[in-house]
Structure 1
Amino acid sequence: MNYGFVKVAAAVPRVKVADCQYNVDQIEGMIFEAEEKGVQIITFPELCITGYSCADLFAQNILLEKAEMGLVQLMNNTRQLDIICVVGMPVATNTILINAAVVFQHGKILGIVPKTYLPNYKEFYEQRWFTAARDVTDKNVRLCGQLAPVSADLLFDTPDACFGVEICEDLWSVIPPSSKLALKGAEILINLSADNEGIAKHNYVRSLISQQSARCIAGYIFSSCGFGESTTDLVFAGNGLIYENGLLIAESKRFSLEEQLVISEIDVERLRTARRINTTFSANSGDYKDAEAIHVTTDITNAKPLTLTRKIEALPFVPSGKTLNERCEEIFEIQVSGLAKRLVHTQAKTAVIGISGGLDSTLALLVCVKTFDKLGLSRKGILGVTMPGFGTTDRTYNNAIRLMEELGISTREIDIKAACIQHFRDINHDINVHDVTYENSQARERTQILMDIANQTGGMVVGTGDLSELALGWATYNGDHMSMYGVNVSIPKTLVRHLVDWVSQNEVEEAASVILNDIVDTPISPELIPADEDGNITQKTEDLVGPYELHDFFLYQTLRFGFRPAKIFFLANIAFGSRYDKPTIKKWLHTFFRRFFNQQFKRSCLPDGPKVGSISISPRGDWRMPSDASSALWLKEIEEL
């Protein structure tokens, strides 16, 4: 299976201006190399057969004839290959000359796409030589002895995707041709370019491509002229760029003196899901229902085993590199702003929060502190309540107490053991049986205390549960599942750790930072089962439900893109292959889907809380699911993996 991936390439060959034979030989070699690597669609720069910078040489018949002969050579020598090729060349028809993209496969010209917008300002003089697409009246052009359709409205249907083509300046127009092509069905957009370099221009071009691929919810392949073009007045750096829905997935090295073949895979299934979900896309398509679209069917492309070259992020919720700090700051501010609005609206006198010494309650407490500071309220209005139980360890207890003291909030300690023992007597439960009743009784006792204190103090209970726990149902119904406002409700566990670490480095004094660092290093546990003889945590959540890094990966792929279990399993093995073997990934994937379906009833009545990213499971927002939906289809596919 290819799981919806289409392997594509942006080729940047070396060229010699007006030396068609040399250029064709370079192009041909790159086509063969791409075919060997399983590429299904390859695109080359604008006018690559002749060179873009031929200028008035485009009026020379010998150049045009040699360009056509070069195309004949390319088609003849690649006739046995399945790869679809898109090359740039001047095409003469009757009394006009077209700056064209020629699409061919198996020795057949599938279509000719003329450039729509010809730049004629500053360093560009294309209207001196070429005719724009709107002025091409022929519907077909004879080229290399073949009659081929010519139009800027061509859509090429492969067995795996639909793609459309535009040329360089087209992208710079107010409404690029690729916008209409996307609305008419193109999932992959191709741009043959001769974009010259200038100070800061490269970043602007990347921004244009990123925005266009995101706006069109499409893959975008950009191939621009490189070394060998004339440097009389301009320099061409050779940009091969591949984007998918706004994200850069592969790029060439600029200013290379050698040819470059940039290969990656565009996830068409992911794009189709995004388009179906985004109802604005389909509504916008309706605005162009009368627009012309000419479909051209291609042959089957190669069926070589899929080998992904693009990176699959193991932690999709956690940005990498320099953006991590920016993202953490933004998320933290969203949480703070949400809580601030709720406090102001309810006129709550206090914020009541249970502090366990674990990651989630720590993050919620830090949000409360920042919110009170921002509102100009005394931190004493934050009531931190630590409630040691049968499983509380010295490490988490001490961290909870010390952190509250360092942050200067009001602190209360209420031991819940006596109340729980009385409760066990009331319901006739053996205290030595450490089952779900034993555990949940403690969680509900703690929630009751928090709710009652909130009533006493005219305050509101701030929830601490995170997105990952709610996805797995790892929360006690009407226990820690409930609050008056849940600030962590859309923060996944893998991100919680980074947020606490970010606050530790940027928002608190050194003493509090030391405590936060130890909390980050503490094993995740609800601490509802007694500690071992040495006082260490015995109930480690990830030993019971599986690693959160796996579950967050499964959650992201399921809710963000609607991927089926088989594809998620395929991607997870790539992302985590060095850390988990296939049986382990399969085991926890089964656990994820089983729990995700079975625990929906808890998510159907979640308290309010702010959405911070692309994933939310609020029943009032991103995720509406019947509590009694069957997981049979998903679990069966996992069992058959």
Structure 2
Amino acid sequence: MHSGFLRIAATAPTVRVADVDFNLSQIKAKLAELDKIGVEVAVFPEMCLTAYTCADLFHNSTLINAANRALLNLRDYSRTLNLHFAVGLPVSHAGALYNCAAFIRNGRVNFVAKTYIPNYNEFYERRWWRPLPFGKTETVDILDEQFEMSTGRIFNSHGAKVGIEICEDLWVPIPPSSRLAMAGAQVILNLSASDDLIGKYAYLQSLLRQQSARCLCAYVYAGAGWGESSTDLTFDGKAIIAENGTILKANERWNPADNTSIADADIEALDRDRLHMTTFADCAEAECNGIETEPVAKNSDTSDLSDNQPALLRYIDPHPFVPASDEARRERCEEIINIQVAALARRLDAINCKTLTVGISGGLDSTLALLIAARTFDRLKLDRKGIIGVTMPGFGTTNRTHTNAVELMDGLGVSSREISIAPAVIQHFKDIDHDPSVHDVTYENTQARQRTLLLMDIANQTGGIVLGTGDLSELALGWATYNGDHMSMYGVNAGVPKTLVKYLVGYFANEAPKNSTVRRCLLDIIDTPISPELIPADSHGNIKQRTEDLVGPYELHDFFLYYTLRFGFTPERIYLLARHAFSKEQYTDEVIRHWLATFFRRFFSQQFKRSCLPDGPKVGSVCLSPRGDWRMPSDASSALWR
């Protein structure tokens, strides 16, 4: 295991029914191939040494003896491999036959017997196999050698804990994998020979997602394929790897040449989720009795986080908050908007409020807040004129953002006011004896606080509340003026990361009539550089102060934020993931390191702002509310994270 990742594989090589020597050669060839590319744990299909469809030949000693010899051959071969693997074969014991997986590593063999034997529809397995009850252990003789056969056993493999179940075991109400996972197994191997039927593959994928999510595990599934008998059934050769509700890799079905899936399972992330989800341990205490677990040996490679670490065999999404497909993004946007609207509507209803005041800058965040306000008023059947949009031009306001703010408010049919903050701020500079030519933090924050003062007073004047516009990414970085734009009566965007805001605004733009003022404004706002516009524009009237030049790229910060809050990863591990997710053409290693250090410095130093955060709806798995998801002392040291 390297850096908390375990390289796993599911594979379904070609078999010949009852031709054990051929099947053995196929398995060994595949093992050599997988070992060469660093696979650490692999699973083959059910009965892969003999083929699954041997039927009454399973009662023939010639076949059983051949399988036994092949097993010992694989046992000896395993001593030349770093790879640990599971293969399927029939095991004869005490006058009965058992459907077994042999887990083989470095010359050691353990059998795991199938717990649940199907005997319905096309399955007739009770004719050949006897079930071994979960948690039971037997000693079996194979060619004058003794081996352990059990169910409910967890094995140590490359620093990870591995459990095994076989085909039907997954489909029962309480699969053995559930108990194995609660007892500590992070990886579940399933040797299967499930035939293919119309609609069955989609159901199986759903089952694998769900089981890997419930068990907070990596689930590695290998199903019988090319070469099995077609007398009554057909097998498509499935090789699927799921992890905590997601399919990491799946091969192309019906293609004998594409019979293997390989991925790096994130064991560290799974462990973190189990630690975080306290009910997992509560359930384990009640359900995992009788399971034997080998101790996990310390693996010297787990902390290897150097720049020379091998590339990961898994996709790391550079934008973890933003779904990749258009359809998935549309669904995500719909869900978030519904959450925001429902939350704001409930708040307005609870306080019997019929007016809202919101500052409109012509930027993304205030635009989203205004759009949510308008939809909320529509849902509550309130007149949109009860929304008082206030544009407050200052020293850095450009014609582009000002025009968009004014035209958007007009297009949405809300009440609008325009109040220049310049006279009041200049007077304030005089009051505190500040030189207006010095564009420092005082120069900037005075403007932000003046805007908040106006909004609060207008809200009092109109009997309403101030709707906050700041987003999740700004809260993480503290990119808000304390007691300025940091403050409101309700922060509707508090759970929305910056990388997702533009897609939400784009969703509203797509809903607006073509050639409408609203649509044009929204599309232009999406294209406008992100800026607080607190420093005067350049000589051409363009935005001079760009947020991402100052604080860093939001796509990097959102990436850092996700892995910090969602999984609690170390900076070293987040750096490793970022190097894999972003190409060097996007960000060099030095750039990633620089902004990662900036992220943690700001994240810690700005906690005091989050500790007094206004109410706002949670919309995803990452949230910074001090009342719920993130509780942290404001004076915590960031030394360990920098």
Output aligned runs, 1:15-414, within 5 Å.
15-109=15-109, 111-134=110-133, 139-258=138-257, 260-288=259-287, 290-295=289-294, 306-321=310-325, 322-414=327-419
Q: Which of 505, 514, 523 is matched with 2:520 structurally?
A: 514
Residue 602 of structure 2 corresponds to: 595
Q: Which AA in structure 1 matches 2:586?
A: R
Residue 544 of structure 2 corresponds to: 538
Q: Secondary structure at the match of 1:134?
A: coil
1:142-181: CA deviation from partner (whole Å, max 9, x where unpaired)? 2354322211111001242101000010010100000000
Residue 638 of structure 1 corresponds to: none
1:338-380: CA deviation from partner (whole Å, max 9, x where unpaired)? 0010011111120110000000000111101111111111111
With over 3 angstroms needed to count, the CA separation of the structure-2 counterparts of 1:525 and 1:129, relative to structure 1, is: same
Residue 431 of structure 2 corresponds to: 426
- In structure 2, runs of 5+ residues without a counterpart are none
**1:4/1:160 contact within 8 Å kept:** no
1:53-74: CA deviation from partner (whole Å, max 9, x where unpaired)? 1111111111111111111222
Q: Does 1:568 align with 2:574?
A: yes
**2:397/2:534 contact within 8 Å kept:** yes
With over 3 angstroms needed to count, the CA separation of the structure-2 counterparts of 1:66 and 1:626, relative to structure 1, is: same
Q: Secondary structure at the match of 1:133?
A: coil
Residue 639 of structure 1 corresponds to: none
Q: Does 1:624 align with 2:623?
A: no
**2:491/2:616 contact within 8 Å kept:** yes
Q: Which AA in structure 1 matches 2:90?
A: P
Report the Cα distance in structure 2 between the residues aligned to 1:442 and 1:76, rounded to whole angstroms. Answer: 76
**1:617/1:623 contact within 8 Å kept:** yes
**Which portions of structure 1, spanning 4 or more consecutive aligned residues, are displaced by more than 6 angstroms?**
296-304
Residue 442 of structure 1 corresponds to: 447
**1:349/1:457 contact within 8 Å kept:** no
Q: Which of 576, 581, 606 is matched with 2:588 structurally?
A: 581
With over 3 angstroms needed to count, the CA separation of the structure-2 counterparts of 1:213 and 1:17, relative to structure 1, is: same
Report the Cα distance in structure 1 between the residues aligned to 2:389 and 2:134, rounded to whole angstroms. Answer: 73
Report the Cα distance in structure 1 between the residues aligned to 2:15 and 2:300, rounded to whole angstroms. Answer: 28
**1:82/1:302 contact within 8 Å kept:** no
Q: Which AA in structure 2 matches 1:290?
A: N
Q: Which AA in structure 2 matches 1:309?
A: L
With over 3 angstroms needed to count, the CA separation of the structure-2 counterparts of 1:135 and 1:332, relative to structure 1, is: closer
**2:97/2:128 contact within 8 Å kept:** yes
For these two proteins, the number of residue pairs brought into alignment is 634
- In structure 1, runs of 5+ residues without a counterpart are 636-641
Shift of 1:301: 11
Output aligned runs, 1:414-563, within 5 Å.
414-506=419-511, 510-511=515-516, 512-563=518-569
Shift of 1:426: 0.8
1:167-201: CA deviation from partner (whole Å, max 9, x where unpaired)? 01001010000000011110111111111111111
**2:180/2:288 contact within 8 Å kept:** no
Q: Secondary structure at the match of 1:139?
A: strand
1:88-121: CA deviation from partner (whole Å, max 9, x where unpaired)? 1111112011100100112221x11000000000
Report the Cα distance in structure 2 between the residues aligned to 1:329 and 1:228, rounded to whole angstroms. Answer: 47
**2:115/2:134 contact within 8 Å kept:** no
Report the Cα distance in structure 1 between the residues aligned to 2:242 and 2:515, rounded to whole angstroms. Answer: 42
Report the Cα distance in structure 2 between the residues aligned to 1:138 and 1:345, rounded to whole angstroms. Answer: 61
Shift of 1:29: 0.6
**1:83/1:301 contact within 8 Å kept:** no
**2:15/2:51 contact within 8 Å kept:** yes
Cα RMSD (Å) of the superposition? 1.7
1:272-321: CA deviation from partner (whole Å, max 9, x where unpaired)? 00000000101101112533324377897999953311011000000111
Q: Which AA in structure 2 matches 1:205?
A: L
Report the Cα distance in structure 1 between the residues aligned to 2:365 and 2:281, rounded to whole angstroms. Answer: 40
Report the Cα distance in structure 1 between the residues aligned to 2:427 and 2:578, rounded to whole angstroms. Answer: 47
Q: Secondary structure at the match of 2:249?
A: strand
Q: Secondary structure at the match of 2:388?
A: strand
Report the Cα distance in structure 2 between the residues aligned to 1:390 and 1:184, rounded to whole angstroms. Answer: 62
Q: Which AA in structure 2 matches 1:365?
A: L
TM-score normalised over the length of structure 1 = 0.97
Q: 305-314 or 118-127: which moved more?
A: 305-314
With over 3 angstroms needed to count, the CA separation of the structure-2 counterparts of 1:21 and 1:300, relative to structure 1, is: farther
**2:13/2:256 contact within 8 Å kept:** no
Q: Which AA in structure 2 matches 1:48?
A: C
